[in-house]
Structure 1
């Protein structure tokens, strides 16, 4: 798969997740937090397993181990978001969860000792500015819900990093499917411990669960896992900065929400950050390479001389 196709898949995933806020809000009207997580990821796993059952028969324990870890990280991402929405506004939550775009390059720098390019620093600053203009409404005061959403952003950055590592070592499709099953299992265990598990009691509740399961989870997380094999985690995090833009668009079309002038400027800045992140410094050619080119150029101007040794050699210069 070419990097451009992988990036387009990530953008599609971001559209799905932009819609998830609307469906999560609908689902929480009739279900507990852990219950919603269990249903969302459990149904997504059952659907994906039914479609790719034969592929799952080839799964190995290495893949299962990574899937258990990624499923737990997903559970740790969505648990604070669910509880955080009770004590913070959706605008603050959207901004704080999108801080993943900052955490990914920072974690990558600390873990892999990589130097952050100037274009990347600039794109991150522009992305955060755009997200703030798009989602944050004054006054901005830190609450327990704000802290929980920041924790979710940090955990999702770790999830992105682990996916990037695992995608190079195991079957990405099986990994994407199994992580859904483990996330649903963790949700079910906590729902049994702290809640009374139930099914949605209204058509709206079922619609929310099915959209979260089929579109936002089954498609979203499987495609993310497959696509991340071909692009860097930092680039993935920047593309996920589009999530609040798509969330705002979906809110406009389906919930009648409209952006202010400040919001449209913020959306434009987020898009600009994606463009800036693609600008890379042209690598300088090593001095040795320049010297080699000059020597080759000089060789072209000299007449070819064939020696006895040359006649006994193969075209690649090695003895015949």
Structure 2
């Protein structure tokens, strides 16, 4: 009975995480009336890095000195590209569309894992891929015509990049702990966002940023970055990764829920049908991967799905024990 109660408690924590993500997507779009997308990212991840560094800085630096850059850089760059593409997409299209499109890493991750780890792609996922294509057409349809613009393309790119972060992140977790992987991803997102912001957007006037925008940035940094990372990884100590990834597909649902009263965005019948097809396909892909894959000792800091691969170096735990 105690174990069942504990399990339901952690399920509730993951659901809370999806609520925070969905609410954060809507708040981000509201904040864009006062601050540009890339500078919003810079301020968000700058604050998150300060907090994360204060809590785990010495631990992160100590571990990074023991491994090569390739242990963490690919996952960190993919995560940075995922967040940049997602936040720019929020400025170009509806939060509802972005919320659904960025919920697809569990569909793309098996294909990327097959390519990176040179494993056979599971044929059982092909029908799910086809279902997602149908769902995307219905979701992005406007009056019967396909309205797949730059915003939707960037949201889809964000999903693919996040899948890459999961595949490479799993490899990195063989040599680093969860906090270190998360810290490198936060730092990389800050650096790359800053580079893009300096090139593509006018320098932000800090004095002109409104209290509402600052409040949004603080929420995104503290709740939608630091807190959600903690909730997800804490939940993975009790729940299987397939269970957590299944629960995380609720993010676009909460994005749509918050978008209606706060942004006035409403899906039509075709949109609801497409969204339902996408969610069902993502859930099926997650459950299928959960049955096929083994449960590793640790899960990616931003993980939605996990895939087995060969361990090629001693883990950070082995080196510490030695």
For this structure pair, what is the TM-score category when the shorter chain's length is used for normalisation? 0.5 to 0.7
Q: TM-score w.r.t. structure 1 length?
A: 0.68
Q: Name the counterpart of 1:170.
A: 176
Give the one of 28, 31, 41 matched to 1:37: 41
Segment of structure 1 superposing worse, 94-103 or 219-228 = 219-228
Cα shift at 1:30: 1.8
Q: Name the counterpart of 1:60.
A: 64
Distance in 1 between residues matched to 2:107 and 2:291, nearest whole Å: 24
* Compared CA separation, residues 135 and 4, structure 1 to 2 (3 A): farther
Larger Rg: 1
Distance in 1 between residues matched to 2:136 and 2:235, nearest whole Å: 24
Q: Would you say 1:110 and 2:118 are equivalent positions?
A: no
Cα shift at 1:45: 1.4
* Compared CA separation, residues 275 and 77, structure 1 to 2 (3 A): closer
Cα shift at 1:158: 0.5
Q: Name the counterpart of 1:101.
A: 106
Contact 2:48 2:226 in 1 (8 A): yes
* Compared CA separation, residues 90 and 204, structure 1 to 2 (3 A): same
- Report the RMSD for the aligned CA atoms in angstroms: 4.1
Cα shift at 1:3: 9.8
Contact 1:95 1:132 in 2 (8 A): no
Q: Name the counterpart of 1:201.
A: 209
Contact 2:260 2:266 in 1 (8 A): yes
Q: Would you say 1:181 and 2:195 are equivalent positions?
A: no
Alignment of 1:143-292 (within 5 A): 143-194=149-200, 195-199=202-206, 201-221=209-229, 223-224=231-232, 239-252=247-260, 254-255=262-263, 272-273=280-281, 276=284, 277-278=286-287
Long gaps (5+) in structure 1: 284-320
Contact 1:176 1:222 in 2 (8 A): no
Distance in 2 between residues matched to 1:68 and 1:92, nearest whole Å: 30
Please list the CA deviations of residues 95-140 of structure 1 after superposition, one character each: whole Å capped at 9, or x if unmatched: 433343321122223334145264x556666667667666754432
Cα shift at 1:243: 2.1
Q: TM-score w.r.t. structure 2 length?
A: 0.67
Segment of structure 1 superposing worse, 190-199 or 101-110 = 190-199
Q: Name the counterpart of 1:288.
A: none
Distance in 1 between residues matched to 2:30 and 2:76, nearest whole Å: 23
Contact 2:49 2:186 in 1 (8 A): yes
Segment of structure 1 superposing worse, 158-167 or 35-44 = 158-167
Cα shift at 1:41: 0.9
